[in-house]
Amino acid sequence: MPDQTSKTHSSLRTVEWKDNKVIMIDQTKLPNKLVFVEYSDYNQVANAIKTLIVRGAPAIGVSGAFGLALASLQSNAFTKDELLRDLEVARKILFETRPTAVNLKWGLDKIMQVALQHSDVNDIRNSIIETAKKMAEEDVQINMTMGRYGSDLFDNNDTIMTHCNAGALATVAYGTALGVIRATKESGKKIKVIATETRPIQQGSRLTAFELKHDGIDVSLIPDTAVGYTMAKGLVNKIIVGADRILRTGHVFNKIGTYQVALIAKQHKIPFYVAAPLSTFDLRSNPEDVVIEQRNGSEVTGIGDKKTAPDGIHVINPAFDMTPPDLISGIITEKGVAKAPYEESIKKLFEAN
């Protein structure tokens, strides 16, 4: 267990703004150590996103916004044009850290728009910081609303499978998919969770199992290779995952392995749900436009520091895959649940926004 266990997990913040610094949980150290890192330079935030100190689509969206808030404080600009130039340099560095989760672009764009709305440099700085803090606060509220909508889809005594970590650690707090699981439990229903290990870097075992155990939610860990076995044996009633990007057609980009979980669920007629805020939707792109992040092969040829494959082999290590809409039973958002046909139901969610 982590060094520090006195606070309950839901009271922890994955990322927060304090005294003009960004504080984050270093997720690379979990589950063995609960370590907080503190940054006053946006380049450090960019590096934290790139190296997965902070990860998960909503968490990196808010981290990007906080990165720009730091950049505004670091800038020596005296005029609006100078400040905008400095912010644009920072925006580009932050944007280039990870390509698939659309929340990063959403967070950065929102702050850049705010910067344009004022003329005095100090007014710009203040309103950037206030907006980024508000985005963090809203993330938690949105997750709780999403949780309430989603909990209606789950029944007493359900065993729910989840993949990767779409929890408090992937957001500012509470979580998307795990937020729905938390809300279901809070509504009084008894539930159990099956968490996939999520190779290669084990967000399921390191983060989801840690979070759920910490909150007293019954969790069983399985290797990714046991997904078919558990479904075929009738050990799973429903599945819920998060998302890094959802297209207007309902195509869902999420952690590598999500597609095969959804395919096996279809085979066994098990409902497969996705939970994500509207900031995860990309209404413009087509499936072929989305860049899938390819990560270092060393994540696959070893586990932690231990080598588990021979040197000098080829590795394919995509971080995300795409699940088509016909495998998805519903997409849970803070505005309600979208169901097929997705093009229509997603449009309605945005019209209601």
The residue type of 136 is: A
306: buried, middle or exposed (CB in 10 Å: 19+, 13-18, 0-12)?
exposed
The rounded distance, in Å, linking the Cα atoms of 298 and 318 is: 12
The rounded distance, in Å, linking the Cα atoms of 238 and 166 is: 16
Smallest gap from Cβ 291 to ligand MRU, in A, equals 14
Nearer to ligand MRU, 176 or 205 (CB): 176
Spatial neighbors of 122 by CB under 8 A, at least 6 apart, are none
Smallest gap from Cβ 33 to ligand MRU, in A, equals 18
Of 89, 69, 72, 71, the residue nearest 135 (C-alpha): 69
Smallest gap from Cβ 280 to ligand MRU, in A, equals 8
Q: CA 289, 88, 133: angle at the middle one, nearest 5?
A: 90
Nearer to ligand MRU, 171 or 230 (CB): 171
Nearer to ligand MRU, 161 or 166 (CB): 166
The rounded distance, in Å, linking the Cα atoms of 109 and 39 is: 21
Smallest gap from Cβ 187 to ligand MRU, in A, equals 20
Binding site for ligand MRU (CB under 6 A): 55-58, 101, 164, 166, 170-171, 176, 203, 242-244, 254-255, 319
Catalytic residue among 218, 244, 305, 326: 244
Instruction: Indicate the residue whose CB is closest to ligand MRU.
Output: 242
Cβ atoms of residues 94 and 84 within 8 Å: no
Q: Assess whether 244 carries a catalytic annotation.
A: yes
Nearer to ligand MRU, 86 or 244 (CB): 244
Residues classed as catalytic: 244
